[in-house]
A and B are shown apart, each in its own frame.
Chain A
């Protein structure tokens, strides 16, 4: 019993040291831009860089668009599969997991082959079209998380009976989807959204190879050329992720506190 406890605490301690110490080191280093004293100069430098604002804004916008279009794809799909094609669920789940096993670099080369400027669908011909392609690729990257969180939320409501109840009251399928289903899987939608936000903000491969001014490539560029700013950026990026994860926790608690049925 006691030995077990000691073992558990040791494991936790090792984990904390492994994760926290480098972080503290990075943070400490990011404060040492001014010689001989701690300061926030590195952060000031980062925040005053126009490229920081531009890339951060760009990626933020991409994240929001990815979330909106991703959810418009995922919620109806998960709904339809649960309602009408339950036998297809394993297949759909497998497909949504593919982005986890196929490296992003492979996917992006596939995109460049198929959607290059001399193809039938020349997505890379203009910047706007490339943005759409990039958003599509982000949707794909976040698919495993979005689908799973939405599908889990759907498990807590009786999709089929709610649909039939709404139908018998005269509702068409858009009403059912947006008034009866969407609001009840909101906790899943939000959870998926925060993960998606974190993924998109830090994504490098897709944005870099499609040559879009996103936050990930900017991080890489600064990392290669400056001394103190990369540490400050790393801390900022971590904070974004943590805030997203924290919100996710809050949302999932909130969702659990209101059971759909007794």
Chain B
């Protein structure tokens, strides 16, 4: 049995169903990200785990114990908020000590733990500062130390980095991840930034309209999106409608041109239309040997992104984007010229429409 389990969790606010049948099992020590667009229910699921919202139905268990009837202050779950939420009247040290004091720990032990936590976030020298004397990044690190000081069973972070500027976001997310590894604490990290989720998670839960569309490692999520939503939300995939010519052998037509797939063929049986996803970096200009797929069209747009060039090729009704490495020795393709693109059969992903 997994350490943290949510089974058939639902949440409605009045008539509005915000979370619909959410299932998830997290192992001890895992780092999980919730990824999804604004309003898809990420915060709501997190708040139900923390106990700030009741579940409408379903159960949440930690280590086999049902949490449903426990108040937030009985759950021993650490929480880090987007707005830091440090107590303005307390110093850094007092903030970190707060949970330990509430738990009635002896003073000597509190002092040791506070020091240990502040060393962990490299802010030991700021112990007597007040929150308003700290930068945003420092405040968020203190908030993290405060949440970790009570040795919570699970750590929840709700978009902890979105109030910070880009550079600090990257360095702090790596710091969070390394602290998490060091302590081996089971963590859920909410974000709507796909790069953030892909770079630090063990597994990602891609959420869409109150459901978990796909749960998997960053590798699986990025390379093999299961649904159209996941494909379009994670990365910049080409999403194209296909006509199923022969489901069993994986023959599809895109804008009238034949393409072969060798993956996810089960999703083609008994259907006449499907949705095809192609990663831009899996496509090349030109032709290739046996078995590869070819599509012909016209170069519509070339954008220079630095290390890569993004080229858009128009087929008939639809266009396809591909990435090629920038090579100073080769002139970029010209707009308006005819072009053939090629990609392997394994790179043709058949994705599900939204459930």
Contact = CB atoms under 8 A, between A and B. Distances in A.
Given A260-B88, A260-B132, A261-B132, A169 B83 contact: no
A158 B131 CA distance: 14
A158 B85 contact: yes
Interface of B: 50-52, 71-79, 81, 83-89, 98-99, 102-103, 130-132, 134-136, 139, 143, 146-147, 150
B98 to A, nearest CB: 6
Given A164-B52, A262-B132, A170 B88 contact: no
A170 B73 contact: yes
B72 A167 contact: yes
A189 to B, nearest CB: 12
Given A161-B85, A164-B52, 5 more contacts: A162-B85, A165-B146, A168-B147, A170-B150, A261-B88
B84 A261 contact: yes
B102 A184 contact: no
6 contacts: A162-B87, A164-B52, A164-B85, A165-B85, A165-B87, A262-B132
A259 B84 CA distance: 14
Q: Which of B89, B147, B150 has the most CB of A within 10 A?
A: B89
B79 to A, nearest CB: 4
A4 interface: no
A9 to B, nearest CB: 39
A184 B85 CA distance: 13
Interface in A157-214: 157-158, 161-162, 164-172, 175, 179-180, 183-184, 186
Contact of A184 (B50, B51, B87, B146): B87
Chain A residues touching B, majority SS: helix
Given A170-B150, A261-B88, A164 B102 contact: no
A11 B130 CA distance: 45
Contacts of A179: 87, 98
Contacts, number: 82
Interface of A: 157-158, 161-162, 164-172, 175, 179-180, 183-184, 186, 258-262
Nearest to A161: B85
A170 B76 contact: yes
Nearest to B135: A262
A164 B81 contact: yes
B79 A168 contact: yes
A169 B99 contact: yes
B14 to A, nearest CB: 13
B102 A170 contact: yes
Contacts of A186: 89
Contacts of B78: 168
Nearest to B134: A262
B81 to A, nearest CB: 5
B84 A164 contact: no
B88 A157 contact: yes
A258 B81 contact: no
Contact of B89 (A183, A259, A262): A183
Contacts of A180: 87, 89
Given A260-B132, A262-B136, A171 B81 contact: no
A183 B88 CA distance: 9
Enumerate the 5 nearest inter-chain pairs by beta-carbon distance, A residue then B residue, closest first.
A169-B99, A183-B89, A168-B79, A165-B85, A167-B72
Contacts of B83: 158, 161, 261
Nearest to B47: A164
